[in-house]
Amino acid sequence: MRHGAPTRRTALKAVLAAAVLTASLTAGCTRHGASDDGRAPQGSQAPDGQHTAGTGSVLAVKIDNVAAARPQTGLDSADVVYAEQVEGGLSRLMAVYATRLPEVVGPVRSARESDLELLRQFDRPTLAFSGAQRKLLPLIDRAPLRPETPDAASDAYYRGSDKPAPHNLYLRPAKLMAGVPGKAALTTGFRYGPAPAGGTVTATRTVRYPAARFTFTWSADEKRWLVSMDGTPARTTAGKRVAAATVVVQHVRIRTSRYHDVLGNYTPFTETVGSGKAEVLRDGRSFEATWTRREATDGTTFTGPDGSPVDFAEGQVWVVFAKA
């Protein structure tokens, strides 16, 4: 047999091996046996000590946050709510779901370039959004996530009759997700535990954008920070007050991105990789902290002035990106 001239059987084996390798790469990196990837919060166990059963990575939903979109639906079920500045100095939310999936979430709105960097901390998350600026769409398609729009998953979305378009697009998460992802999928880098020593007694904290503001007021009865947006108490469509166990005011660089809306207003890009100052609000107190996220694939850690980790209270976390 001449070297360099494989038989038909050898060639077939090579083709099959290449196909298997290609399929495994296309499918992404699936971890077996590990409960987390080293970026999960310390509180990745349920209160009874058992790990929350999971079926994949998190669901992230872009949620409208102008006055016409409120009250929102399903916001109280999120594990983490990120608040970011968008065009015109307004705000938009990204709700991340891992331990609970509500029946309905919305109103759903469009994605931004900053979302792609923020979502790299998760293992191929599902991103539910209404669309994006045309030039941004190829970047979303190449990102290590599962994009789901009404065009791609029409049965998962519907238009409600309670609000005018475009503030009435809603998502049924069960149509996108095989089940609850589980706490191990929440690879934010956050730690949960007892409150640090010290801190400053804080009754209320407001973060302002050019055309929006968030206010968090401590409720000793509920042991939560009651959320208000643009001066109005935030409620869900069920009438429930939106409340966070921990609020993080994360001071970041906000610069102009390459993309703009139809009116020519450029989208702010919120840099969530790097380090900077932060304030952690929990248990009616404010704690000075430093945030660090070295790589986009890392979670974000928060440390106190002495370098020790700042633990969060168990429950929903709100992270508000404020301009440094």
- The per-residue pLDDT of the chain, averaged, comes to 85
Dihedrals phi, psi of 224, to nearest 5 degrees = -145, 160
User: Which tens digits make up the pLDDT trace of 34-75?
Assistant: 222 234 333 333 333 223 455 689 999 999 999 999 999 999
Residue 140 pLDDT > 90: yes
CA distance 287 to 127: 32
The CA dihedral of 247, 248, 249, 255, to the nearest 10 degrees, is: -130
pTM here is 0.83
Q: What is the pLDDT of residue 52?
A: 43
Tell me the per-residue pLDDT of 113-128, one tens digit each, with 9 for 90 and over.
999 999 999 999 999 9
Q: Which helix (H) or strand (E) holds 116?
A: helix 113-119
- List C-alpha distances in Å: 227 to 196, 201, 213, 215, 313: 23, 18, 11, 6, 16
Q: Give Cα 99 distance to the centre of its chain.
A: 13
pLDDT by residue (tens digit) across 16-34? 333 333 333 233 333 332 2
Higher pLDDT, 211 or 20: 211
> What is the model's pLDDT at position 266?
74
Mean pLDDT computed over 259-281: 86
